[in-house]
Amino acid sequence: MEKPKGLKTALMTPRRRLAEILRCGEPLTRSSSIRYADTLAWGSTMQFGQVKRREFITLLGGAVASPLTARAQQAKLPVVGYMDSGARDANAHLAAAFRQGLREAGYVEGESVTIEYRYADGDYDRLPALATDLVRRQVSVIAATGGEPSISAAKTATATIPIVFDSATNPVDVGWVASLSRPGGNMTGVNQMVGELATKEVGLLHALMPQAKEVAMLAGARYQSTPTMVENAQAAAGALGFTLRVVTADSEQELDTAFAAVARQHASALFVAPNPFFFRQRERIVALAARHALPALYVRREFSVAGGLASYGTSLADTYRQIGVYAGRILKGEKPADLPVIQPTRFELVINLKTAKFLNLDVPSTLLALADEVIE
């Protein structure tokens, strides 16, 4: 026959009685600890004898230390600094891709790693202070995302903390790494090859608009990759038999001015070069292109999703995932000097047929067949 619960407790050894009390979840205070001591050491003397002082202290010390140990373990989680030149809301899907990469490397935010997020919200002048703050917090690795301004700020702030970047410019050309295969130093990451891709993108725009003789290119005057992209794009346009005129913008007001200039040039199509500022302003840029009835090619899928006609380039989400994987590998002990700079292998062509219909444009079937995604 099963003994009544009260009787079962009474028949327990003092050690088991204390364990049972603690298991029930009553918080340990000074007064309750004394009460437990009285109950176990003296109240049960008639049946079991006095509990030894050392035995009681050992049990009580272990119970009190348990939550302290858990908090200490949580405090010891490695910390990753995540610095982005853009805005939190606009780039939320990219931060999610970064966390996915960390998970693939074995790190889950809040469980096995802490992430310190820093966003410049498009104000590049804030980046040096954000980078310095991460260095002061002694993070284990810095993910410098959102283009060259973020990478430059991180590089200036530290020569010892590992930095993982997404670079539009060839990182060897700007001196961030010694070579793509053996970066050396404390930096590595992903080379997005935007300069090299400009030739391909101009060719795709020509395939969309073969009759166009005047094409405009929207670029950022202060963006480090602009000269290489312009040079490659103009060379491709010349080979295809049309003129490519460059207009620049680095602020919202300058965007309106740039599109007015494109209208005065009577351009038949527009190529929007990659730029962190343009990415943040993608909905505005797509709306301006629609207002001027300009067929436009972009370099990020997000523009086509926002209503742009077509886009071709590397997957930005996949780039951030790869940065997360590298950050995780560094946390496990690998050195950035030994991690090759990743060259993208995944490119995506996205065509928005809804926008093509709005522009009264027939997209060639050959391009539709090549598209990775068609938005209808």
| Domain 79-193+317-338, CATH | 3.40.50.2300
Alpha-carbon distance 109 to 103, whole Å?
8
Of residues 283, 309, 280, 317, the one with CA closest to residue 374: 309
Name the pairing type of β-strands 243-248 and 373-375.
Answer: unpaired
| Domain 194-314+347-375, CATH | 3.40.50.2300
Of residues 187, 140, 159, the one with CA closest to residue 328: 140
| Tens digit of pLDDT at every position of the chain (376 positions) | 444 444 444 445 555 554 554 444 444 444 444 444 444 444 444 444 444 555 545 545 554 454 544 444 455 899 999 999 999 998 999 999 999 999 999 999 999 999 999 999 989 999 999 999 999 999 999 999 998 999 999 999 999 999 999 998 899 999 999 999 999 999 999 999 888 899 999 999 999 999 999 999 999 998 888 998 999 999 999 999 999 999 999 999 999 999 999 999 999 999 999 988 999 999 999 999 999 999 999 999 999 999 999 999 999 999 999 999 999 999 999 999 999 999 988 899 999 999 999 999 999 999 999 999 999 9
Alpha-carbon distance 155 to 149, whole Å?
10
Both tokens of residue 150? 């973020």
Q: For the chain, give every domain's residue range.
A: 5-75, 79-193+317-338, 194-314+347-375
Q: 233-266 burial, b if ≥16 CB within 10 A, otherwise e?
A: bbebbeebebebebbbbbeeeebeebbebbeeee
Gyration radius of the chain over CA positions: 30
What are 81's strand-pairing partners?
116, 142
Tell me whether the CATH fold assigned to 79-193+317-338 matches the one assigned to 194-314+347-375: yes
Q: Residues for the chain: how many in total? A: 376
What are 190's strand-pairing partners?
166, 342
Alpha-carbon distance 139 to 160, whole Å?
11
- In SS3 terms, 248-288 reads as ECCCHHHHHHHHHHHHHCCCCEEEECCCHHHHHCHHHHHHH
What pTM value is reported for the model?
Answer: 0.77
Of residues 294, 275, 175, 172, the one with CA closest to residue 221: 275
